[in-house]
Amino acid sequence: MRLSSKVTTLLILAAVIAIAPVFFPSSYYFRVGSLIFVNGLAVTGLVILIGYAGQISLGHAGFAGIGAYACALAPVHLGLHPALAALLGALLSAAIAYLVGRPILRLKGYYLAVASLGFGILVSMVLSNEAQLTGGPDGMAVPELGLRAVLKAIGIDLSNTEFWYAFSGLVLVIGAWLALNLYHSPTGRALRALHGSEVAARTVGVDVAHYKLVAFVISAVYASVSGSLLALQNKFITPDVAGFMHSIEMVTMTVLGGAGSVLGAILGAAILTTLPQVLTIFQEYEQLMLGLVMMLVMIFMREGLLPSIARRIRGRAE
């Protein structure tokens, strides 16, 4: 039963990604789709941190920034292929998450929130101020990944937007698979145990500080890869990727969709990525409506959209 919930989630996700393009009226929707997947990936990492381990971070855009700028800088300065640059960014993010996480994960609740916020701000300041290296607030160009050309050579000819839709979708499915594997694993249980009761987790032998750090590092790698994908598909990057707003967006997507559920959080990413565009029909009231929707969801669906809806359907079925 537990295993099937993992397979079901992956099947639903893969099916939606594969079938949705049938209904796309224009290539613009491929672009929106790939943005959803990029956000979905970062949010899946936050499910591990927030949903599994019960820790908060308001600075994860900092890791997205590291991943994004690694793809911009490493090819130019180190001569790395962009794919290797993304890998380097992920390793760097993991290392920085380890160093930053050790001291700040001793903090709880809003203390941790503020400390992580500080980290995010620090990264975006560095990216903005080191203008010689990063182009400052104006941003900088990112080289082509080159995978599309390879695919074309073997006979798979995709447009740029189609390619990024498929590629980010694939990475998202892999990310979701890893996160779901983790959920049912000994590590996942340790994370959920310390979320449920730290003192009880300790008494069954869970090294709480270590496992919080594990969740922090893994979620940082997700954010970093998400930032790399964004940079590579936009072929341009600005410090906004590491900005405060981006961190807040990530957490909002996660919590709104359902921090305890990978699929829920991805749904949250989909809604908050598309909603602002749907709400443009309200014209100047767009932001107002967005805020209202978010408040109503949190008031009436405390666990987030998907878990709340699932619970109601199950309740009705019984």
Partner 1 sequence: MSLLQIEGLGIDFGGLRAVNDVGFSLKPGEIVSVIGPNGAGKTTLFNMISGVYAPARGRVVLDGEDVTRMPPHLLARRGLSRTFQNLQIFQSMSVLENAVAGHHLHERGSVFADLFSLPAARRRSKASEDSARALLDRVGLGRAAEQEASSLSYGALKRLEIARALALKPRVLLLDEPAAGCNAVETEEIDHLIAQVAAEGVSILLVEHDMKMVMRISNHIVVLDHGEKIAEGEPTAISRNPRVVEAYLGVQATEAKHVDR
Pair 89, 74: CB distance under 8 Å = yes
Least separation in angstroms between residue 220's CB and partner 1 is: 14
Least separation in angstroms between residue 264's CB and partner 1 is: 14
Among 81, 184, 302, 312, binds partner 1 (CB under 8 A): 184
CA dist., res. 73 & res. 67, Å (int) = 10
Interface segment toward partner 1; rule CB under 8 A; list 14-22, 56-64, 161-169, 196-204: 196-204
Query: Look-up: residue for tokens 């996480």?
Result: 101
DSSP reduced 3-state for 95: helix
Could you say whether residue 196 binds partner 1 (CB under 8 A)? yes
CA dist., res. 179 & res. 170, Å (int) = 14
Q: Which residues 247-276 are close enough to bind partner 1 by CB under 8 A?
A: 260
CA dist., res. 219 & res. 224, Å (int) = 9
Write the DSSP symbol of residue 25.
S
CA dist., res. 204 & res. 207, Å (int) = 9
Could you say whether residue 315 binds partner 1 (CB under 8 A)? no
Interface segment toward partner 1; rule CB under 8 A; list 89-97, 139-147, 207-215, 269-277: 207-215
CA dist., res. 76 & res. 176, Å (int) = 32
CA dist., res. 56 & res. 40, Å (int) = 17
Could you say whether residue 206 binds partner 1 (CB under 8 A)? yes
Structure tokens at 225: 């890869």
Least separation in angstroms between residue 193's CB and partner 1 is: 5
Residue number, 192 or 235, with CB nearest to partner 1: 192
Could you say whether residue 204 binds partner 1 (CB under 8 A)? yes
Could you say whether residue 137 binds partner 1 (CB under 8 A)? no
Could you say whether residue 195 binds partner 1 (CB under 8 A)? yes
Closest to 39 in 3D by CA, of 188, 256, 185: 256
Residue number, 187 or 252, with CB nearest to partner 1: 187
Least separation in angstroms between residue 140's CB and partner 1 is: 32
Among 15, 149, 200, 313, binds partner 1 (CB under 8 A): 200
How would you class 32 by CB atoms within 10 Å of its CB: exposed for 0-12, middle for 13-18, buried for 19 or more? middle
Could you say whether residue 197 binds partner 1 (CB under 8 A)? yes
Among 193, 223, 225, 229, binds partner 1 (CB under 8 A): 193
Longest dimension (CA), the chain: 63
Q: Which residues bind partner 1 (CB under 8 A)?
A: 1, 178, 181-182, 184-190, 192-193, 195-197, 199-208, 214, 218, 260
